[in-house]
A and B are shown apart, each in its own frame.
Chain A
Amino acid sequence: MFMEYDPAVYSRILTGLTLGFHIIFATIGVGIPLMIALAEWMGIRKNDPHYRLLARRWARGFVVTVAVGVVTGTAIGLQLSLLWPNFMQLAGQTISLPLFMEVFAFFFEAIFLGIYLYTWDRFKSRMKHFLLIIPVVIGASFSAFFITTVNSFMNAPQGFELVNGVITDIDPIAAMFNPATPTKTAHVIITCYLTSAFVLGMIGAFKILKGDRHVYHKKALHLTMMSAFVFSIATVVIGDLSGKYLAEYQPEKLAAAEWHFETEEEAPLVLGGYLENDGEIKYAMEIPYALSILAHGTPGAEVIGLDQFPDEDTPPLIVHYFFDGMVFIGMYLAFVSMIYLLLSWKKQQLMHSKVLLWSIVAGGPLSILAIELGWVFAEIGRQPWILYGIMRTPEGATTSDHVDAMLYLFIGLYAILGLSCSIVLKKMFNNNPAAHELEQRGVEDRGERT
């Protein structure tokens, strides 16, 4: 291979690969149950079979993605101990509680998802069936919450004393509700909702673009874009709070993300750009005061720069690109869903214009890309630490000789799983279009085609 064998490096790549693959499925796994619940709820409230079919079809596609989410989640769960045994030996003392509770939340979700999927026509009361998706939504969001508290702990470890390398005096609640927990969990959960809304909105928009003018797709688009707008506003607010969190607790992460080299007041925000080898920033846009506002809420505030930290404690400067990519996409999603909403309110003849529909279609993959970028930023941004301020990443890694071979094994596995999953999903819906299923179910066509 092109690099020397170093188990820590390969462990990082393999963990990154597994998580990078897993979060695609995990994100929609957290968000889609909420969207299904919304659709079914609308179906019952408005007594509209289109919404109910929407819930049904989303649920059907959802199970296939859940399967991949479950197995890759199992993979990362095991890999934590296989690839980072020294880290788990130390941190296992404190993170096992949230890990344990995450499994409970997921257990709860799994039981009710099984029931929900197989009881569509079983109860006389539609409400009864709707109630079954509620525990799925709760379980999904809570498992995201608990697992994110583990990650928060790695960023802001607390709730224990470290005496001669041994963790003592443990307070599990303090460890779980560390300073990073509120912003991290809120940001993760809300962006899961946002991404899921856009991924589902993409399907509706794509169908309409392909000439399927069925009202079913229009209703799907409307529901998803309305939700996406609400979620994107919440995302922006929480994103701002996350910036303030970083400024206070992990200033070097924020400084690296913003290429903010020198501590100063009235700090400008660097957007985009390119960093030359000599440390010159080229082609960037600078917004005066914006970083001070982002970090502390006032334009005159002092923002700590990278000059305050020794080199071996600072994250790589590449995180700037990830951070900016995430922010740009977040803004884009908010903008597109807002335009859709405005048009549907004031200028209905334009709401299905080609440009807007294509922008929504692009929003699907872009939102997933933003999830990846944001996650890579958060993870690489806390390098060189695996436990911030306590354990450096290489100290936590395995010493085994075969991590490289395992990396290739998993690259193969994820390639095959990803490919099969997309083939199966594609076939599932192409072989059975919505209009066909509506007819089959005896839902009358009440002349709503336009």
Chain B
Amino acid sequence: MSYEIIGISVLWFFLYGYLIVASVDFGAGFFHFYNKVSHKNYQVNKLIQRYLSPVWEVTNVFLVFFFVGIIGFFPDTAYYYGTALLVPGSISIVLIAIRGSYYAFNTYGSKDSKIYSFLYGMSGLLIPASFTIVLTISEGSYLDISNGNVTLMLGELLTSGYSWSVVFLAIVSVLFISASFLTYYAYKAGDAASYWLFRRYTLFWSIPTILASVLIFFAIRHHNPEHFSSMLDISWMFILSLLFFLAAMFFIYKKRHLGTAFILVMLQFFSAWFGYGASHLPYLLYPHLTIYDGFVNETMAIALIMAFFAGLLLLIPSLYLLMRLFLFDADYIQGNK
């Protein structure tokens, strides 16, 4: 395998990690706020906080990892995306800043505040939507590259059906992933009321999620036929994704194997995510930038990959410890520790 492929796979994998942990986090923030204003079952919110509090910082690192890594492996992306994304990128930063800070202010500050809860609940939902702009413009025809200058065609972007369907998918997926995790978590905690509530949320959000996925599949066909045909070449990955989804819904509907159900949801997004990513190759930005013409020099690539594996050796045991102590410790989840 070439260094380019290793590099992009590592980054794509991290972005996938972010997609899962951030979705759980963002969705939970939204549910926290929603349940608060609708005065539903205050116990649910305590449960959400118990899960989120030890991990929120870790979530953010996945993201930083990705954008530092992509500049590392593919410095030319800085030129294209950096120039074009100044405004949408800055808006994302502001949303991340609001979300992170007000989450901490609300959780560690002296009292629970409705305004703070609103700020981090809503910003959490807008962050994934704002990030999708990167995915959208990577499909091409939203950038004007002429006279050595890169400009984002904001008008085209905002009136495009494709870009809005990606935004829609991002938002509903966040709610769906988060609800399916919290269903399992509430079940483990023996919190029946929360469990019923999240089970309902999961079933509810599964419908728009799958509809949006199908919609996007066909929107790409219209928008970028070349990409669509390479998607068809590996269509088994998307079919697999659909099967994982159906199995997960079956278990949740039958109220059985909830842990497995969440893993199936993760696999559903894993296969769709990698199917989308693989079919997008070799382009980082269609049709201007491929992974081959924007690649870092070889010495640096080797150094980065080595640093990456050394880092993993450090992180995997630490993450395991974190999970053992909080996510999978029945006593902790139930609030006895």
Contact = CB atoms under 8 A, between A and B. Distances in A.
Contacts of B314: 104, 108
Contact of A111 (B71, B94, B104, B319): B319
A404 to B, nearest CB: 11
A68 interface: yes
Interface in A73-94: 73-75, 77-86, 88-90, 92-94
A149 B106 CA distance: 35
Q: Which of A64, A85, A405, A409 has the most CB of B within 10 A?
A: A85
Contact of B65 (A71, A97, A107, A115): A107
Interface in A383-431: 398-400, 402-403, 405-406, 409-410, 413, 417, 420-421, 424, 427-428, 431
Contacts of A428: 108-110
13 contacts: A63-B108, A67-B105, A70-B60, A70-B100, A74-B96, A85-B79, A85-B83, A86-B79, A96-B71, A100-B72, A107-B58, A118-B325, A399-B150
Given A68-B101, A417-B97, A100 B86 contact: no
Given A108-B315, A406-B87, A97 B304 contact: yes
Interface in B59-115: 60-61, 63-65, 67-69, 71-73, 75-83, 85-87, 89-90, 92-94, 96-105, 108-111
Interface of B: 53-58, 60-61, 63-65, 67-69, 71-73, 75-83, 85-87, 89-90, 92-94, 96-105, 108-111, 149-151, 296-297, 299-300, 303-304, 307-308, 311, 314-315, 318-319, 321-322, 325-326, 337
Interface stretch (A166-174, A180-188, A330-338): A166-174
Given A88-B78, A96-B72, A167 B61 contact: no
A399 B144 CA distance: 13
Contacts of B75: 88-90, 92-93, 96
B60 A66 contact: no
A99 interface: yes
Given A94-B300, A100-B68, A427-B109, A107 B315 contact: yes
Contacts of B89: 78, 82
A70 B57 CA distance: 8
B96 A112 contact: no
Contact of A89 (B69, B78, B96, B297): B78
Nearest to A102: B68
A-side binding surface: helix, strand, loop or mixed? helix
B23 to A, nearest CB: 18
Contacts of B68: 77, 96, 99-100, 102-103
B58 A110 contact: yes
B325 A115 contact: yes
Nearest to A420: B105
A100 B308 contact: yes
A103 B315 contact: no
A217 B322 CA distance: 34
Contacts of A420: 101-102, 105
Contacts of A100: 68-69, 72, 304, 307-308, 311
Q: Which of B98, B297, B319 has the most CB of A within 10 A?
A: B297
Q: Which of B86, B300, B318 has the most CB of A within 10 A?
A: B86
A114 interface: yes
B72 A417 contact: no
Nearest to A113: B57
Contact of A82 (B82, B99, B150): B82
Contacts of A216: none
Interface string A146-179: 0000000000000000000001101111000000
Contacts of A63: 104, 108
